[in-house]
């Protein structure tokens, strides 16, 4: 039975929000993506030193705030002193339009409350069981079980997501996908039925190895698994992937992706 997370159309996922025009993974980026009409927002979470689940991609603060240190070593109060828009630029560093504008590092709870109808694809970055517990608590407290998908590159974290909050949708881990790709190349994947995830979230290539193929998409669909491809920013690739049969495209340019989907729908 298909998870309720997928009940509505899920073709356009904004990677870290409207991140081409706003500081990534911030509430303004999320609200802009929602206003554009995306189906879902992909985001990332870490746990602060005092146990707050914050939205941030990197382990460190340098790239986006200019500050030093690990997110996990900072308290939430310390993170609130950081300028999340400090280093954002659209012209290779000539100007910084959001510097000093008061954009803060947000919490997952704030994001779920800020856009209560939006679906979120949440990547748990820390290899930390406490993060999974806090994530599960926040999702349940917001009654968001049907609008949050749990993801992680850490195999053990995904296993814990499925234990601590089994009612939400989840994706395959990197290790699970590696096994799946091997089984597909051996042409025996179709004989397996114990698929623990609801979605396969994959790039076209992993290094030189082609991961996304029509045969893999076909098998996933037979098993009731959705196929999401990341991160796609060229129009010709967006069209190609949809024609291959993928369900969802993740992009840094949701404007272009929405335009592309609309054009393909009209044809």
**Residue tagged active-site, from 46, 57, 154, 228:** 57
Residue 57 annotated in active site? yes
> How many Cβ atoms sit within 10 Å of the Cβ of residue 235?
14
> Residue 15 catalytic?
yes
Of the listed 15, 46, 154, 228, which one is catalytic? 15
Length of the chain: 267
Catalytic annotation, residues? 15, 57
């Amino acid at each position: 039975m298909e998870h309720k997370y997928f009940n509505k159309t899920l073709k356009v996922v904004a990677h870290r929000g409207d991140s081409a025009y706003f500081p990534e993974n911030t509430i303004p980026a999320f609200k802009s993506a929602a206003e554009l009409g995306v189906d879902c927002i992909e985001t990332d979470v870490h746990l602060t030193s005092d146990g707050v689940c914050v939205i941030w991609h990197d382990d460190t603060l340098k790239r986006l705030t200019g500050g030093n240190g690990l997110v996990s070593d900072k308290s939430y109060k310390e993170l609130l002193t950081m300028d999340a828009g400090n280093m954002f630029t659209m012209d290779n560093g000539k100007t910084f339009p959001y510097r000093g504008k008061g954009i803060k590092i947000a919490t997952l709870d704030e994001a779920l409350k800020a856009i209560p109808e939006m679906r979120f694809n949440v990547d748990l970055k820390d290899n930390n069981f406490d993060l999974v517990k806090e994530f599960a608590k926040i999702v349940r407290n917001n009654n968001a079980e049907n609008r949050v998908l749990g993801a992680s590159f850490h195999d053990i974290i995904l296993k814990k997501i499925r234990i601590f909050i089994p009612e939400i949708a989840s994706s395959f881990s990197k290790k699970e996908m590696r096994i799946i790709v091997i089984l597909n190349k051996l042409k025996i994947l179709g004989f397996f039925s114990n698929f623990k995830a609801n979605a396969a979230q994959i790039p076209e290539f992993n290094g030189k190895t082609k991961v996304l193929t029509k045969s893999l998409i076909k098998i996933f669909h037979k098993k009731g698994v959705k196929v999401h491809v990341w991160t796609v920013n060229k129009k010709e690739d967006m069209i190609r992937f949809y024609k291959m049969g993928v369900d969802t495209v993740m992009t840094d340019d949701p404007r272009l992706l929405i335009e592309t989907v609309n054009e393909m729908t009209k044809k």
